[in-house]
Amino acid sequence: MDQKILFKQMIDFQKATFDNSFSAMTALQEQGEKMVSMFLEQANWLPGEGKKAIRDWTDAYNKGRLEFKNNVETHFKKVEDYFNEARS
């Protein structure tokens, strides 16, 4: 078997593994965010500044998660392009 094909299959497997793991992590994070949101709605004792801080924190986490996914996808694309060029 050609090494380029083998490496391409390995990269495809790693990308599929990342995508599945990231989807699972996203589902867990979204569930946790729903629980925090329900908590904040019921926490009358928590001042507005505290609620805002928690919402800002979850927004930052979401933004970081999306940036991470975009970076990983960009680098997977670079590797795929490299192997496509090597085949030519």
pLDDT band at 8 (very low <50, low <70, confident <90, very high): confident
pLDDT confidence of residue 6: 86
In the chain, what percentage of residues exceed pLDDT 70?
95
Whole-number Cα distances in Å, 12 to 9, 26, 37, 79 = 5, 21, 37, 10
pLDDT confidence of residue 87: 66
Token reading at 50: 């505290």
Q: Tell me if 28 sits within 8 A of 34, measured CB to CB.
A: no
* pLDDT, tens digit, 9 for 90 and up, residues 34-58: 999 999 889 889 898 988 999 999 9
Q: In this model, does residue 1 exceed pLDDT 70?
A: no
Q: In this model, does residue 88 exceed pLDDT 80?
A: no
CB atoms closer than 10 angstroms to residue 77: 11
